[in-house]
Amino acid sequence: MIRKLFLFGFLFFSVACFSQTKDEAFIRQIADEILLNGKTYDNLRTLTKTIGARLAGSPGMYKAEEWGYKMLQQSGSSNTFKQPVMVPHWVRGGKDEATANIAGKKKQLNVIALGNSIGTKGKGITAPIVIVNDFEELEAKKQQLRGKIVFYNYKFNPRYIRTFEAYGDAVKYRSQGPSLAAKYGAIGVIVRSMSHSTDNIPHTGMLAYDSMYAKIPAVAIGIKDADWLAEELKFNNNIRVELKTNGHFLPDVEGNNIIAELKGSENPDQYITIGGHLDSWDNCEGAHDDGAGITQTIEVLRALTALGYKPKHTIRFVLFANEENGARGGSKYAEVAQSKNEKHILAIESDAGGFTPRAFSFNCDDAQFEKLKTWLPLISPYGCNELMRGGGGTDIAPLKEKIGTPLCGFLPDSQRYFDLHHATNDVFEAVNKRELDLGAVNMAALVYLVDQYGL
C-alpha cells in the first residue's frame, strides 16, 4: 500500500493524544520516554543472548539474578534488594528421544521431556502405544493401558479467539495426564504439544505428579509428528515407541526474588507491585516467556525515574524467581508481605508475551473495576483498549490469596504466543521492538494512574 490511508484517523489521534490534561500529558511523556529512549529491547537482547536459558537452579538463574539486580539499580532505584527463596532444581539431564517402530521401520519423533518429569533411567523404555483423544477415551480404554505408553492427542481448539482459552482447555493433559495414565498402569506418556503452530517443535511445560500413583516419564511431541502418529495408528494398532529421557531433581537451592522500590512520598507503606518472572524453561531463551515481562518491569522503573516521577505510594518492581516449575517466587513474596502486614493496593504482572498491547484483566471488586474503567480513555491510545475481568498472573496470585490484593494481568495479543511458548523458538528474534516498548508504556500508564488515584 502506498498512500496516507488514514488521514481522518490521524487527525483524530493527534487531537486525542496531544491535548493537555495533566494525566494525558504525563502518559504522553511516559510514551515518549520509552519510545524514544527506551532500553527494553537492548535489555532483552542481553538477557536472552548473553544469559539465555535460566531455569531455577541452573547456572543461568544465578547470572540472571545478578544481571537483574544490576539493571534495577542502574534504572533508578535507591533501594534494590534480594528476597531469598528456596527453589526446585530440576535438570533435563541429557537429550530427550523417542523412536516409533512400525513393523521394523523406525522413525525419530520430535519430543521434549515435560518439566519436573522423571527420566527413563538411562536405558529407555519401549512399549506399544495407545492413543486417546481425551480423558473420556482414557477411561474407556483403561483396561488396555497396563505396560503401555499413552499418547494424549487432545488438540488445541482453534475456535477460541483468545489462545489462552485454548491453553486453559488443553493444558490438563500435560499437567495431570501422566498420573492419570499411570493410575491405569501405563509406563510412559506422550502428550500433543499445547500449540496450534504450523511447525513441528515440541513444547515443554510442567507436569504435576499425583503422589497416589507411580511417577512415569512423559514427553511433549511436535504437532506434525502428533498428526503423523495419529494417522499411522488408524491403520496399525501395534506401534511401539522407545522413549529415552533423563530428567531428575537435585536438592533445592536458594534463589532470589529481585526487588527494587521507588519510595512513596505520601503513603510509603502502601505498595503497588509490578513484575514478571526471571526464570525460563531450559530449552529456550525465554524471550516472550518472560524476558518481555522482566524487561518491561525494568523499563517502567527506568522511565518513571528518567521523568523525575515521585510516586505517592511505594512502587515495587519485582523480578520473580521460579515461576515455571514451582511458582515459589510468588509464594515467597506474598508470604513475606503477609508476615510484615503490608498493605498492597494493586499487583500487575506481565507474563503473557511481549506482543502488541491489547488489554488488562483485573481480579478485583466491582467498585474498583468501575474506577479502573474510567481510565480507559487515557490508556487506550497506547494499545490496551480493553479492560476486562480475569486473572492476574501466577506470580501475583498468592497476594490475592493471602492478603486480598487486587490483581491485574497485562494482556498483549495472544495469537502468536503458543507458537513459541516453552519451545526452542521463543527467542529474541521473535520479539518486535515497538510491541515490547508499547507494553511497557501501557503498564507504566496504569502504574501512574493507580499511584495518583488509588483504587
Query: What letter would DSSP give residue 150?
Result: E
Decide: 128 and 102 in contact? Cβ < 8 Å. Answer: no
Looking up cell 522407545, which residue turns up?
242
Q: Which of 233, 384, 411, 446 binds its own copies (CB under 8 A)?
A: 411
Query: Least distance in Å: CB of 386 to its own copies?
Result: 6
Query: To 10 degrees, the CA torsion angle through 155, 393, 111, 135?
Result: -40
* Residue 235 engages its own copies in binding (rule: CB under 8 A): no
Q: Which stretch binds its own copies (CB under 8 A): 86-94, 252-260, 309-317, 378-386?
A: 378-386
Q: Which C-beta is closer to its own copies: that of 145 or that of 364?
A: 364
Q: Which of 5, 15, 103, 212 binds its own copies (CB under 8 A)?
A: 5
For residues 182 and 177, what is the distance between their CA atoms, to the nearest angstrom? 9
For residues 260 and 84, what is the distance between their CA atoms, to the nearest angstrom? 14
Q: Are strands 240-244 and 125-132 parallel, antiparallel or unpaired?
A: antiparallel
Tell which positions 30-59 bind its own copies, by CB under 8 A.
31-32, 35-36, 41
DSSP lists the bridge partners of residue 275 as 318, 349
Q: Which of 46, 338, 385, 452 binds its own copies (CB under 8 A)?
A: 385
Sequence length of the chain is 455
Q: Which of 165, 269, 365, 401 binds its own copies (CB under 8 A)?
A: 165
For residues 297 and 77, what is the distance between their CA atoms, to the nearest angstrom? 12
* Residue 13 engages its own copies in binding (rule: CB under 8 A): yes
Decide: 216 and 205 in contact? Cβ < 8 Å. Answer: no
Q: Which C-beta is closer to its own copies: that of 264 or that of 412?
A: 412
Q: Which stretch binds its own copies (CB under 8 A): 27-35, 139-147, 243-251, 263-271?
A: 27-35
Decide: 323 and 392 in contact? Cβ < 8 Å. Answer: no
CA distances from 116 to 12, 90, 91, 178, 384 (A): 52, 6, 8, 12, 35
Decide: 40 and 57 in contact? Cβ < 8 Å. Answer: no
Query: Least distance in Å: CB of 317 to its own copies?
Result: 19
Binding track, positions 249-288, relative to its own copies; x by CB under 8 A: ----------------------------x-----------
The residue type found at 67 is: W
Sheet holding 386-389, edge to edge: 79-91, 248-262, 313-320, 267-277, 343-349, 407-412, 357-363, 386-389
In three-state secondary structure terms, 433 is helix
Query: Least distance in Å: CB of 4 to its own copies?
Result: 4
Q: Which of 253, 433, 454, 455 binds its own copies (CB under 8 A)?
A: 433
Tell which positions 182-211 bind its own copies, by CB under 8 A.
196, 198, 205-206
Q: Which C-beta is closer to its own copies: that of 83 or that of 385?
A: 385
Binding track, positions 288-307, relative to its own copies; x by CB under 8 A: -xx-----------------
* Residue 147 engages its own copies in binding (rule: CB under 8 A): no
Tell which positions 390-409 bind its own copies, by CB under 8 A.
390-394, 397, 409
Binding track, positions 83-102, relative to its own copies; x by CB under 8 A: --------------------
* Residue 419 engages its own copies in binding (rule: CB under 8 A): yes
Within 8 A by CB and 6+ apart from 80, the residues are 69, 72, 73, 258, 259, 260, 261
Binding site for its own copies (CB under 8 A): 1-10, 12-13, 17, 31-32, 35-36, 41, 158-165, 167-168, 171, 196, 198, 205-206, 277, 289-290, 323-324, 327, 351-352, 356, 361, 363, 381-383, 385-386, 388-394, 397, 409, 411, 413, 415-416, 419, 421, 432-435, 438
